[in-house]
Structure 1
Amino acid sequence: MALPDSIHILQRIRRQYVQAKLWLYVLQALAAILVAVAILWRWQLEAPLLAATAVAILLGAVLYFILRWRSVSKINLQHVARHLNRQYPQLEDSTELLLIEPENLLQKLQQQRVSQTLHVLHPERQKTFTLRSTATYTFLGLALLFSIGILYLPAAPLITAKPESIKVEFPDAPVAAADTAAKIEKIEISITPPTYTGKGTYRADSPNLRVEEGSTLTWRINTNKPAQLQLELNEQQPISFKKQGNKYSLSRSFSSAGLYTINLNGQKSAFYTLEIILDEAPTIQIQKPEQYTEVLFGQPQRVTLQAQLADDYGIREANMIATVAKGTGEAVKFREEKIKLNLSGGAKNYTVKQTLDLQKLGMTYGDELYFYLQAWDRHRGYTRSETYFVQIEDTTVVYNSFDLSMGVNPVPEYFRSQRQIIIDTEKLLKEQKSISRAEFEQRSNTLGIDQKLLRLRYGKFLGEEFESGIGPGGGIPEGEEHYEGDGHDHEEFADKNSPEVLLDPYLHKHDQEEAATFFEPAVKAKLKGALAQMWEAELRLRTHKPKEALPYEYKALRMLKDVQQSQRAYVAKTGFEAPPLKEPELRLTGELNKITPLSDQKSIAAEKQLPNTRTALQWMAKYKQTGKYKPADAAILEKAGQELAQRSLNKPGSNLKALQDLRTIISEMQRGEALCQSCLISVERAWVNLLPPAEQTPQPQQAVRSRLGREYLRKLEK
């Protein structure tokens, strides 16, 4: 049988561990509870989302503690015995023997030995286990600081206040009947934007509305008594509300701006604005390529398209219309193709990065591509960009030009040969890995021979009839070594004191090779440069370096194209030249006998603009002098107010304050009260700004200047 004292030690260790563990779990749950209580204390139930979050934190903390308590309660003396075995090697992994009945003498002796060791060690008096209390205390401190911070936060910004009822003023309502007349208790205005905006229904917080084009507006009005409610827009025919007891509603879609009033039993409210947010068309900005792009020979036949597309509510579709033009003259053919654009980006701004493969579009040398971008938004907006041009250079075209004074066509016939050498060189480079070294060198040398033959043909146009006088080095490629007696003429080895050298600047030679040409000096210089590039290309082809020869071949082709273009002939345009005017015979003669007056004369009376506004301003000037008015004068102001409201439709809200002040003045006139002076000033200023600027009428000088001014001018004249 196990010893009671040993069992007591194990039970005491278990109790200490369970208490320490539960205390840590209580602290962890308390940290979460502090945050939840702080949220509830600060915002209470006024913020539903925060209140729900706080309740969830509370329930989570309680559930966490319950689950941890259940897991700790499952710890028994067997766990404690195994823990002591790990902590104290002196127990010789035999602490579990204290919990069982010994079956033999050996177990009984070992049990007594472990019990004596356990009484000597006294593990219940020592801290035999460690808990992660530091992390728990840190978490508790942070939660405490966070809770204190929540208590000092302002509650207003986080509280979603209930939308207050919109207030509508009725300046015409009589004060005496305010207690018995029908009143509006509550007004709600909900706005349902159209589908293309992607917005949901929302409520307005003011009777002055600014809505999307095509939105549906719904007014819901509650009154204390049955009444007759109407909506009057832009002084047009009023629209009646639907009645359901003391509740009224009206729904209508709007696509144009205006001013509206709500009529309650014939009494008009103040003017309120209805502004329309128009749907804007998409915008397209193309960064790449340039508006005219030419793909030169040897360049990749690809064009990078980079553009920015934007719209206020998003783009529904965007594509490119590409037209490929093939052929020339009357044999030109067009093919149109639609290419979908790959849009990336947000809901309103899009980026297009796309590569156009001209070969996949079926284009080849000399073809042209015309393209433009077009985009549709989610409504009716459509935008098309400018047309962009892409052309692939054609080196096979030869322009035959002639000059009547010369009678000779100096344009060479071999412009395509240089292009063929380039094609063969590129083909050799592509097949280099698949052929033997000997074949590669043989083909490269053959291309060098072709380049030499082409150079000799072009040399004839410069008068170079012999190979010894061709090229920059007299037939020897640049970079090779020259020496005296090598068979070539070199200035550095020539005898500068010989008679031929001394007389050379003064002799007129007819048989010079360079002078035997039909080209202009500038054209001849370009052709010489092309021959020099051919020399460089031939040198590298002969030395089996076709990759290094390719740039010189391209440059030679470019210079040959320049020679071709420079030989084009242009003829000046001729047009009609008018004969000179006989000014001395006709000017300032004063003969008017051939000028007859108009036989049809018509007098048109000038239409007077804004007549009611001018009448109202005259009445206002009279009122300032007398301070008296008649109730019938309200009709004058009413008509002038209609003109002001009509002119304000283009800019809703511009004269809103003046219209509201005018309604106040009319109400005071109908009740016979003193008129509001600030309202009179505001309305008068709006009417004056509404009138067109007055025409300048010249006045006599004496009417403008005073007597003192005239005397001053007379003194100055002396």
Structure 2
Amino acid sequence: MNADARTDRWTRPARCLVWQRTVAVGVPLAILGTAIVWRFGGILPALVVLAVALACVAAIAQVRGRRFDRRWLIAALDAARPDLEDSSDLLFAASDTLTPLQRVQRDRIAARVDAVAMPPLAVPHGRGGVVILAAISLMAAALVAAWPDRPGAALAPAEEGLPALRGVPRLTAQALEVVPPAYTGLPPRSSKILDVRVPAGSQLRWTLRFAPDPRDAALATIGHAAIALRHERRDWLATYRADASLLYRVAAAGAERAGLPPLHRIDTIADRPPQVRLDTPNVPLTVLSAGQRSAVVAFVATDDYGVGASARLRIVVAQGEGENVRFSERLLTLSGSGGPRERRFTTRLDFRALGFTEAGDVVAQLIVADTRAPSAQQVRGPSIILRRPAAVAQGGGLEAMTRQVMPAYFRSQRQIIIDAEALLAERPRPRADRFLSRSDAIGADQRLLRMRYGQFMGEEVGGGATNAMPTNDDEDDAKVAGAEADHDHPAAATAGLGVTEDVTAEYGHTHDEAEAATLLDPGTRATLRQALDNMWQSERALRQGEPRQALPFAYKALRFIKQVQQATRIFLARTGTDLPAVDMARRMTGERGAMGTRVLPSAAADPVDATPAAIWRALDGPRQDAALDALSRWLRASPGVADPLALAGAIDTVRRRPDCSRCREALRAQMWQVLPRPVPGLARRGDGGVVGRRYLDALP
């Protein structure tokens, strides 16, 4: 006998024993698991679990049997047969690899092996534990299978208004269990009718009973896949997760002769996002008092089911003036107080800890989330602005008209540079039309800033109003070059002190003269002029869609602006009210010929969707099915319908019963709500009859 034959013959009993023990333990456990799944999940999942469990038992037995190989056999032979003199490995060695002495020893032990029967080599284990474990598993499986049904909702009589025909399945009892999502905190409930309103994400379980039992049944939905019903004992069961509203009817095989069952609807209630309101302070903007070191802020967050126990407070600190505004941002975690549906988040802001020491703003905004699972809804509440005003120097006379720093006009040139660099660094690069549009928008901002600076050089902004933005780029070029605007003001003649012309020159509208509008020293004026010139070059490049060419000019303009801000003082001239001159020739004459019209332009009416009206007219025509298909497509594409489920149900009823006039009228009633309302006409007022006309004729 060769070595492989000896190995297979002597290890086969050990492998069989391992297979027997594995099967004796694994099969009862598989039966127990199958019974549990069948009890709570149905026959199909139970069969899947049984197949997987048996495959696992076989795989485990195969793996355990592999350890009984030749190495194990040699050790077992040496331990079980002392007469082999620890030389059993020679029985499995090839003859050409042995020495003469080893061949002699192999022949001696081979004769001893053949002379005496081989004892069992596998170590015997007690069978009592295996038998007890198998018995417990089988008893538990029988107990699970025989356990009575869990107490559910009591079935209520069903009344669908269909005639009872002999041999035709008819729905006799019904119940609908609703298990809301855990995050809502609502308890499970049972409904005796099949029309319910549930929170979105609820688990629904139908329990239906027919007489007699049909061969098959399902919940036929409108616009969705049918929900299959499974038969368990006397009842038909189905489960469904209600993520969206649903319209369905109970359809049993063979019940078509009794008529069309009524439609039922499941309305889902969407979880609304949290609402955040200010509590302390209760106004968005609060001006801090001098020397105030801290402030208390409080928000109140509400939700329909629950607000998260913690929230984040976003704090932005802005300090400085002009181009020297510095920003810092941080997030704080706050714990709320109060019930789950309304929580109050309060904290005290320490300005020194935030680094808020100069004039500027502290903006606080609460970021809160609800408890919806698996994805919570997060919202950002309103912002609270805590403002610390800059100190204003007090004085009188000419000193009151001085500014130590430039006004708030000079604060956005840096932002224009940031926007242009962000546009160039954006990846992937926007399309050409979008890139040009965004570059043009940045150029428009550059133009507005240039015109604001131009006011301090005595330039007009256009239209005779210093707060209106011009729209003619050629006019802007002329202004940048120093052209003066023509206001048709009376020229001031040189005269002595106290003359009328001197009073007009002193208090009149003189801002079209650069030197009279802003008293700047010549060096500052030259620097500001260079800033305006570079702004114009930057604007031109941005308007042409070349932000890279505009950046050098924008940086030069920023440097010149910084130099202007470092001027010691800037004197602003006093200007009076610029009112139009009164035409004394027309005064008190009653002439109204030159007055403009006061008629408001008519606004364009919203476009009217003619599809529902066309379908309304086509319902009685020969192509009724095509009209119903068009109405179904229009309903899916129109999210603004007040009750889409009712309209869909009416469409389905007419489609199934085309000869039912009452069903068609119900569909018209639903469509009446979506038809465009006619524009009311204007009726002419009555003339009052004979007496009224006589009175009107008598009027002069």
TM over 0.5: no
Q: Normalising to structure 1: TM-score of the pair? A: 0.39
Q: Highest CA radius of gyration, 1 or 2?
A: 1
Bigger relative contact order, structure 1 or 2, given CA contacts below 8 A and separation 6+? 1
Q: Normalising to structure 2: TM-score of the pair? A: 0.39
